[in-house]
Structure 1
Amino acid sequence: MKMTSIKMKKLLEQRMQHEDWRTSFNRDKDTFRIEWKDTQKGITITLPNVIAKYEQQGDQAIDDLEYHVKEALNIMNQTQELTGKEKSIFPVIRATSFPTKTKAGKELLFTDHTAETRVYYALDLGRTYQLIDKSMIEAEGWTLERLREIAAFNIRSLETTPNIDTVAGNDFYFIASQDGYDASRILNESLLEEMRANSKGELAVAVPHQDVLIFADVQNDMGYDILAQMTMKFFAEGRVPITSLPFIYEDKKLEPIFILAKNKPKNT
């Protein structure tokens, strides 16, 4: 029997029962919301997206959704401290279209990165993380610069061994450890310099979504076409998409490029 929004709503109501939570269904927007009764902090779920996953994965999709929603709601209801948790602070790459405030109106901390990307900061909580907002560092007496330095140090400590694939005379390197910070490794300057020093041609870098970092040692024009197709595919499939545009890395700078088929890239 086909799953409908009404049926999914009832299923989620059964799964998301908690004496301190309130659930609601918006028929016009086809969304389902779970929130804390006292603070109104919560999560809004787009039902057609859940139904699509349910039709592919069955109950596993609902199990995963239930876990992530409960984790997120519990984090929302906690006051997180940064002092003593310095080793758990990491940078996360997001698109420039990513919100700069939480739904509760708190200012998220970020640093400009490229024309396509920004760097936000996260406190790792194990199986998930919380983006750090201005009120959190003010409570600790920290500065954004201190936060940035701690995050930069920690990202350099993460494993960077890539998987390698050679296609049409071009070498592609993939870092996909699934720790939530794969794309963030683009901020590891020593890694970028090492990859540039070992490249035979031009070095291109891509962060199509949060869970992958791609390096391309482009040695012929075909390499640009392959990279463009690859980046677009990853971008479309990513859980947290970032940008479908790759970057050329040169003189310690990342320049977004728009790749025309069978042509060398042109800077955007």
Structure 2
Amino acid sequence: MKSSQLVTELKKRLGEEQFDWAFDQEKDQVRLEHKILGRGMNISLPEILAKYAQKKDAAIVDVVYTIEQTFKAMEREQADGFKGLAQVYPIIRSASFPKNSKEGSPFVTTEHTAETRIFYALDMGTTYRLIDESMLPKLGVTAEQVREAARFSVKKLRTDVKRDEVAGSIFYFVNHNDGYDASRILNEAFLKEMRQNIEGDMTVSVPHQDVLIIGDIRSEVGYDVLAQLTMHYFTVGTVPITSLSFVYEDGKLEPIFILAKNKVTKEQEKK
């Protein structure tokens, strides 16, 4: 399928009565503008086409659902306004993720690691909206109050894990598909609790938005397995974050680079 064919298919499924469509061949993206709301979104076509090559029609079904739910959330927001801080959650994104909204307003963010940054979202049920500075007056709060509310909210998220053993190392997966799986890396109490049950090196990975992987690495082979796991999840994730993992020790996250059968931390790399 080519980009132009994908645009035609999206138009067929989403309709042209509700939206104005602008296909930018040079950037290989399409812009949708909701005629009533006066708001829109840019859709990058290569990513959808890559998923279409693997998942076929299911990839298009997924993106259509996401677009529909996003605009429905915008409609509810416009009709009802914001409800306050109860539904504010932290969101982990890659350090290269855009720092401004499409309208040019800076997102509310917090530094996390060299590879990741914390954003904040207003949960709207089936979707959420990243909070930018233009939204703060409507919420009636400051950026610091948003951060504090998010720190509280992440502690309320379930932390059930699925356990798997590979080549003598143990891997725990948090995968609730609620949009905040990777955000659980910010639940310090959860990480400390997991550390007490881990015999080897504790690693933490957020390859994409919908999974958190905690490793009990007991051998060099375990690091090889971890590298393969994180790269796989990073490749297939809807919202990739980082293929790098972190060693967790004394409440700190140290990024590691896994080469062949050796693990190399940033500090070791400098020596």
TM-score w.r.t. the length of structure 1 is: 0.89
Q: How much does 1:236 deviate? A: 1.1
Q: Distance in 2 between matches of 1:144 and 1:26?
A: 35
Q: 1:62 to 1:221 in 2, by over 3 A?
A: closer
Q: How much does 1:142 deviate? A: 1.3
Q: 1:98 to 1:51 in 2, by over 3 A?
A: closer
Query: What are the Cα deviations for residues 192-245 of structure 1, in whole angstroms up to 9, with x where unaligned?
Result: 111111111111110010000011111112111111111111111111011111
Number of the residue aligned with 1:166: 165
Aligned residue runs from structure 1 range 104-143, under 5 A: 104-143=103-142
Number of the residue aligned with 1:22: 20
Number of the residue aligned with 1:221: 220
SS at match of 2:215: strand
Number of the residue aligned with 1:72: 70
Q: 1:109 to 1:198 in 2, by over 3 A?
A: same
After superposing the two structures, state which structure 1 stretch, 101-110 or 55-64, moved more: 55-64
Q: Distance in 2 between matches of 1:60 and 1:104?
A: 31
Tell me the matched-pair count. 265
Q: Distance in 2 between matches of 1:154 and 1:7?
A: 42
After superposing the two structures, state which structure 1 stretch, 117-126 or 133-142, moved more: 133-142
Q: 1:124 to 1:221 in 2, by over 3 A?
A: same
Q: Which amino acid aligns with 2:45?
A: L
Number of the residue aligned with 2:5: 7
Does the alignment pair 1:147 with 2:146?
A: yes
Number of the residue aligned with 2:86: 87
Q: Distance in 2 between matches of 1:39 and 1:127?
A: 19
SS at match of 1:264: strand
Q: How much does 1:147 deviate? A: 1.2
Q: Distance in 2 between matches of 1:25 and 1:149?
A: 40
Q: Distance in 2 between matches of 1:181 and 1:94?
A: 11
Q: How much does 1:15 deviate? A: 2.5
Q: Distance in 2 between matches of 1:264 and 1:39?
A: 51
SS at match of 2:243: coil
Q: How much does 1:249 deviate? A: 0.7
Number of the residue aligned with 2:42: 44
CA contact (8 A) 1:205 1:214 kept: yes
CA contact (8 A) 2:73 2:127 kept: no
Q: Distance in 2 between matches of 1:27 and 1:235?
A: 27
SS at match of 1:145: helix
Number of the residue aligned with 1:245: 244
CA contact (8 A) 1:108 1:133 kept: yes
SS at match of 1:259: strand
Structure 2: tracts of 5 or more residues without a match: none
Q: Which amino acid aligns with 1:32?
A: V
Structure 1: tracts of 5 or more residues without a match: none
Number of the residue aligned with 1:34: 32
Aligned residue runs from structure 1 range 185-204, under 5 A: 185-204=184-203
Q: Distance in 2 between matches of 1:110 and 1:44?
A: 22
Q: How much does 1:265 deviate? A: 2.9
SS at match of 1:6: helix
